[in-house]
Amino acid sequence: MSLETTFFAVSFFCYAVSSILYPAHLFLKPAKIFEHSRLFLRTGLLFHTFALILRLNSIGMLPVSNTYEAFSFSAWVLVLVFSVLERRWGFSSVGSIVAPFAFFSLAYASVLPQKHHILVPFLKNYWVEIHVSLSMLSYATFILAFGTSISYFLQEKLLKQKKSNPMSLQLPALTFLDELSARLVVIGFPLFTLGILTGILLQESRWGVLWVWEPKQTASLLTWMIYGVYLYSRKVAGWKGRRSHYFLIAGFIAVVVTFLGINVFISSGRHRFM
């Protein structure tokens, strides 16, 4: 087993443990469980980083050339963004979404062919790396916003039930979750827009057209519109609370579709390699 694969396996294991501990912390009080879940997640992130650095070193570019690399890299971005923001915002309940996400991403990735796919000369452009990074960063924030929405719905249900429930204390306050969701999209939406724009520029430079109605591009446009409407409803129309979170659920589904929109054999598919 190569060093990279070892690091990958360790990281995978850490994410697995963390995926059990984060939800466990919601149900049980001991602060130790929370500390351990965080520890495992961050350790997993560390080893994952090593694995990616090794790959980056050997292939000379961002590891995003095939499905295996895409899943691994996007999981890494998600955990990284979460770890950074968790420190500042204290919304660790969302770890119950992030850790399993990372776990399943790596689980799926581990059964895919790992050999780095040599890209056609056109794609060996650093703008491609920027386009992919921007997209993945924005996906990370949108997935986190999904996490805060779920936490919001959960907390709301507990409060409406009017029974004293210890889980309610483990989750952040309701309006705080509402605010965090908005903050995440405010960060993610511009990144996503830039991601789309860089994609458009790349497409223009290679194929001479700005837009093609291929599955991935269409899906990303739909995603963009959903989050755009969400932001509009909140900032301009002043919406708050339950109904604005429906957008985030819809947006999340759109993100999943966009990311997985790996078109295989449709002739006009630009994203055939992803």
Residue ranges in contact with other proteins by CB under 8 A? 29, 31, 155, 159-160, 162-164, 166, 168-169, 172-176, 178, 237-243
Query: Which CB atom, from 68 or from 152, has the smaller least distance to other proteins?
Result: 152
Query: Which CB atom, from 173 or from 209, has the smaller least distance to other proteins?
Result: 173
Residues ≥6 apart with Cβ < 8 Å to 75: 15, 48, 101, 102, 105, 106, 109
Q: Is the dihedral of CA 105, 108, 110, 114 positive or negative?
A: negative
Q: Which residue has the tokens 């130790």?
A: 32
Closest CB 233 distance from other proteins, rounded Å: 10
Closest CB 237 distance from other proteins, rounded Å: 8
Task: Find the helix packing angle between 3-27 and 95-110, rounded to 10°.
Answer: 150
Instruction: Give the C-alpha distances (Å, rounded to integers) separating 109 from 1, 5, 41, 115, 146.
Output: 16, 12, 18, 12, 22
Closest CB 176 distance from other proteins, rounded Å: 4
Closest CB 208 distance from other proteins, rounded Å: 46
Query: Which CB atom, from 183 or from 272, has the smaller least distance to other proteins?
Result: 183
Distance CA 41, CA 43 (A): 5
Query: Which CB atom, from 29 or from 206, has the smaller least distance to other proteins?
Result: 29
Instruction: Give the C-alpha distances (Å, rounded to integers) separating 66 from 145, 163, 248.
Output: 27, 49, 28
Query: Which CB atom, from 47 or from 152, has the smaller least distance to other proteins?
Result: 152
The two structure tokens encoding residue 242: 């339950």
Task: Find the helix packing angle between 31-59 and 3-27, rounded to 10°.
Answer: 160
Beta carbons of 106 and 76 less than 8 angstroms apart: no
The two structure tokens encoding residue 179: 């605010």
Closest CB 239 distance from other proteins, rounded Å: 6
Query: Which CB atom, from 86 or from 178, has the smaller least distance to other proteins?
Result: 178
Closest CB 9 distance from other proteins, rounded Å: 36
